[in-house]
Amino acid sequence: MKGNKLLIFILTIGVFGILNTEMGIIGLLPSIADNFNVSIATAGLTVSLFALAIAISGPTMPLLLSGINRKKVMLLVLSVFVAGNIASVFVTNFTLLLIIRIALALFHPVYCSMAFTVAASSVKPEAAPKAVSKVFIGISAGMVAGVPIASFIDSAVSYEMAMAFFAIVNVFVLVATLIFVPSMPVEDRQSYGEQLAVLKKSIIWVSIAAVVLLNASVFGVYSYIAEYLETVTEMSSNMISLTLFVFGGANIIGNIVAGKMLTNHPIKSILSFPLFLSIVYILLFFIGEFAVLMVIITFLWGILAGGIMANINQYLISSSAPEAPDFANGLFISACNVGTTVGAAAGGLLISEMGTQYVVLVGILSLILSLVIILLRNYSFSSSKQVSKSALARD
């Protein structure tokens, strides 16, 4: 039991380091623009191209490395991240920085998908959602803490030290993995064909559609939350930072809650999620002008949107293809990135056409569509179970 706790802790810090590398650079964009003499929009390519590379490599890289000892794969990915982050400290050409970022992004889904698989397999099947939710805490922390930590080091010390911080975290996890994580050979090695066969199942595509819509419902709104708080709520920059911090802290609470919910009541939790988040968005629309109420509703939004949704998304896809866990988790990561891209694009379009306050409509519409897809998924899942039972009865 202690060994499992240590393993999950290392995996949690590991995904924190990976997500820190991905998201932390957002806090360094002004410095990147200055250091490399490029515009802020061009500097933003370090974020957008990273996400695009993840979306592409999500289904492929975990599949290609799925038959190799998982400890060796983790060490490989962490070594790549250490080397890439160290190189980023010293590189002086922006194009080279982009190439390094894209190379790192290609390995990003490998570690994250494997972390979910290892965490779930380290405990009894019924406790798997709770174990995975603990790993998600590292993802939330990476997304939330990475930006302010990197920004603080950048302003207090230097841009180079902020970039070095990413490498330091990954070095720590690399050493911990080398010393404390046991060898994890893949006992039931699956061929690529066996894993790709899950794509023939209609439920996996329905689940992917649900994940894309759920992620779009969150990031279609969250991508513009700072602008919403500034223009609609008329908050100061310090108050906006505090509100975003509240959202991030709520993410971590949501992960803890989600683990218990999906362990005890998975179907009810998944079905009720779009309804509860829709209520939050409706409140967000009508109380957007009131700062104190916005902080409270942002806290509730953070619990639902950051913590609970991420776990639901992973559960939807992993439970649809339990026979190919690494590939399924890769599909989950890819679907999330597609949803984020679609949601952010739709949110931007709506703001340009109707105004910032109406961006919540993207979230509500996506949630309505996601509920329809989830109901379709549950019907498909129930039907497939009935077919399986009938087949067993005939046998």
255 and 140 in a single domain? The answer is no
Considering 131, 159, 189, which residue would you say is the last residue of a domain? 189
Q: Beta-carbon neighbour count of residue 157 at 10 Å?
A: 12
Question: What was the pLDDT predicted at 244?
Answer: 76
Pair (23, 81) in one structural domain: yes
Domain identity same for 111 and 27: yes
Same domain, residue pair 19 and 110: yes
Q: pLDDT for 132-167, tens place per residue? A: 888 878 877 776 677 778 878 888 888 889 899 999
Query: In terms of domains, do 176 and 211 share one?
Result: no
The domain that holds 230 is classified in CATH as: 1.20.1250.20
pLDDT score at 210:
93
Confidence (pLDDT) at 387: 39
Are residues 39 and 185 both part of a single domain?
Answer: yes
pLDDT at 3: 56
End position of a domain, from candidates 158, 189, 220: 189
Q: 239 and 170: one domain?
A: no
| Pair (183, 196) in one structural domain | no
Give the pLDDT confidence score for residue 257 in this predicted structure.
83
Q: Are residues 4 and 109 in the same domain?
A: yes
Note whether 24 and 43 are same-domain residues: yes
Alpha-carbon distances, residue 122 vs 103, 181, 182, 286 (angstroms): 30, 12, 12, 45
- Statement to judge: residues 149 and 215 lie in one domain: no
Q: What pLDDT is attached to residue 123?
A: 81
Look up the pTM and report it: 0.76
State the pLDDT at residue 99.
95
Number of domain units in the chain: 2
d(CA 60, CA 160): 33
- Would you list the DSSP string of 208-275? HHHHHHHHHHHHHHHTTHHHHHHHTS---HHHHHHHHHHHHHHHHHHHHHHHHHHHH-HHHHHHHHHH
List C-alpha distances in Å: 119 to 55, 176, 223, 332.
23, 16, 30, 16
144 and 213 share one domain: no
Instruction: Pick the last residue of a domain from 156, 171, 189.
Output: 189
The residue among 130, 203, 229, 205 whose CA lies nearest residue 379 is 203
Confidence (pLDDT) at 394: 41
What is the predicted pLDDT for the residue at 90? 93
For 8, the domain range is 1-189
pLDDT in tens, the chain (395 residues): 455 788 888 998 998 889 888 877 877 877 888 899 988 778 878 877 888 888 888 888 888 887 889 899 999 999 999 999 999 999 999 999 999 999 999 999 889 888 888 888 888 887 787 888 888 788 777 766 777 788 788 888 888 898 999 999 999 999 999 998 888 887 767 677 777 888 888 888 999 999 999 988 988 888 777 778 888 888 887 787 788 778 878 888 888 888 788 878 888 888 989 999 999 999 999 988 888 998 999 899 988 887 788 888 888 888 888 788 778 888 888 888 888 778 878 888 888 888 888 889 999 999 999 999 999 888 776 655 543 344 334 44
Give the count of alpha carbons within 13 A of 214, CB side only: 36
